[in-house]
Amino acid sequence: MIQYLKKEDGRLVEVQEAEVYCWINISPPFSQAELAEVSEKYSVPLDFLTDSLDIDERSRYEREEEVRLIVVNTPILNDSVREEESIYLTAPIGIILTIEHVITITAHPNPVLDLFLQNKVKNFDPSDEQMFVLQIFEKNVLRFLSCLKSLNLKRNHVEKELYNSSRNRDLRRLLAIEKSLVYFVNTLSTNDLLKLKMKRTDFLHIRQEEDKMDLFEDIIIDNSQALEMSNVYTNILSGTMEAYASIISNNLNVVLQRLTLVTIILMVPTLIASFFGMNVDVPFKSENSPISFYAIIGISLLISLLLAWFFRWKKLI
């Protein structure tokens, strides 16, 4: 789907054909033929469009004559229903700056671009391409921060449940959170490098505009904060997973130890009964002794109780 959008009377409206300084948004579904048409019509290299559709594409920028490409990755919800899969994935947004238009393209429904499409961004005007790019960066960082807070709340909730019972389902949920954080750390690192390079090379041509440079620096600081939060949450979760693995292993050792001690205690009566069942002369084996059976049971119980007391005294039980 290809949308042509511009600002009129403070509202974002869709028009039928591309106008000068309008925003061209390409979102699924679309065909390869439509991409080829856009490439030819607006003199955009086709690989600028196709590269932005690769979910593994790293954040970067590129220039070819008067056309500039910026690829920045953003978090999206994972549609997988499997619990062990990550909750969030990261997908690229392609921002293409031509002389007369700003083109955005993504292969997945994107919450960041939806904010602009729903006219929820203050002072947004697609005709100001520099501010438009900075606002996309800003909303993207805020999206990362929001997702990080959500993941941290999920982690705290799962940990509270694990305090009461160590279920495989809860551990799989922790694994899904950890995978999401790994995606975030890698993506935020590449986004941070992208913005630093763009600032150093003045890719957006805003070096002489103080307000935009201040905003860009604030965005870089917020991105660094999000990266630091991702690293902290990842380290906490890794430590938590290791701690629960140790706890589960220790609990298993305790159970096996107790079962072994119970087996030893129960082995004594079995051993004594086996001796008295042999065809040999042993004490109390007399047809005229009515207490023989009870004496044997008593001796077995006495020895078992002594063993249980000994293990208890050694704090093994």
Q: In the listed set 219, 250, 281, which residue is the last one of a domain according to the structure?
A: 250
Q: Decide if 253 contacts 316 (C-beta within 8 A).
A: no
Identify the residue whose tokens are 């109780």. Answer: 305
Strand partners, 177: none
Nearest residue to 130 via CA among 39, 221, 203, 214: 203
User: In the chain, what percentage of residues exceed pLDDT 90?
Assistant: 35
Between residues 77 and 265, the one the model is more confident about: 77
Same domain, 238 and 270: no
* Per-residue pLDDT, 276: 67
* Per-residue pLDDT, 73: 94
Least reliable range by pLDDT among 40-44, 137-141, 146-150, 256-260:
256-260
Same domain, 138 and 178: yes
Between residues 284 and 119, the one the model is more confident about: 119
Q: What domain range includes position 113? A: 2-250
Same domain, 174 and 277: no
Q: In the listed set 250, 273, 298, which residue is the last one of a domain according to the structure?
A: 250
Same domain, 158 and 12: yes
Same domain, 183 and 260: no
* Per-residue pLDDT, 189: 94
* Per-residue pLDDT, 198: 93
* Per-residue pLDDT, 103: 92
* Per-residue pLDDT, 199: 92
Between residues 314 and 219, the one the model is more confident about: 219
CA 139 to each of CA 5, 111, 173: distance values in angstroms, whole numbers, following the listed order: 19, 9, 28
Same domain, 205 and 268: no
Q: Decide if 90 contacts 181 (C-beta within 8 A).
A: no
Same domain, 86 and 223: yes
Structure tokens at 168: 């495989």
Domain count, the chain: 2
Same domain, 203 and 308: no
Q: In the listed set 199, 226, 250, which residue is the last one of a domain according to the structure?
A: 250
Mean pLDDT of the chain, nearest integer: 85
In degrees and rounded to multiples of 5, residue 120 shows phi and psi of -105, 10
User: What tens digit of pLDDT does each residue of 149-189 get?
Assistant: 999 998 888 877 776 666 677 778 888 888 899 999 999 99
Q: Can you tell me the distance from the alpha carbon of 216 to that of 138, in angstroms, rounded to the nearest whole number?
A: 8
Strand order in the sheet with 102-105: 11-15, 2-8, 23-26, 102-105, 88-97, 67-77, 60-64
* Per-residue pLDDT, 297: 76
Structure tokens at 143: 């999206």
* Per-residue pLDDT, 243: 76
* Per-residue pLDDT, 14: 84
Same domain, 302 and 206: no
Q: Decide if 300 contacts 273 (C-beta within 8 A).
A: yes
Does residue 56 register a pLDDT over 90?
Answer: no
User: What tens digit of pLDDT does each residue of 248-292 get?
Assistant: 777 778 788 888 888 887 887 777 777 666 665 555 555 556 666
Same domain, 10 and 159: yes
* Per-residue pLDDT, 251: 75
* Per-residue pLDDT, 218: 95
What number is the average pLDDT over the span 93-103? 91
Q: Can you tell me the distance from the alpha carbon of 128 to that of 134, in angstroms, rounded to the nearest whole number?
A: 10
Q: Decide if 23 contacts 13 (C-beta within 8 A).
A: no
Same domain, 77 and 102: yes
Same domain, 50 and 179: yes
* Per-residue pLDDT, 279: 60
Which CATH number covers residue 56?
3.30.460.20
User: What tens digit of pLDDT does each residue of 198-247 get?
Assistant: 999 999 999 889 999 999 999 999 999 999 999 999 998 888 777 777 77
Strand partners, 91: 74
Q: What is the pTM of this model?
A: 0.79
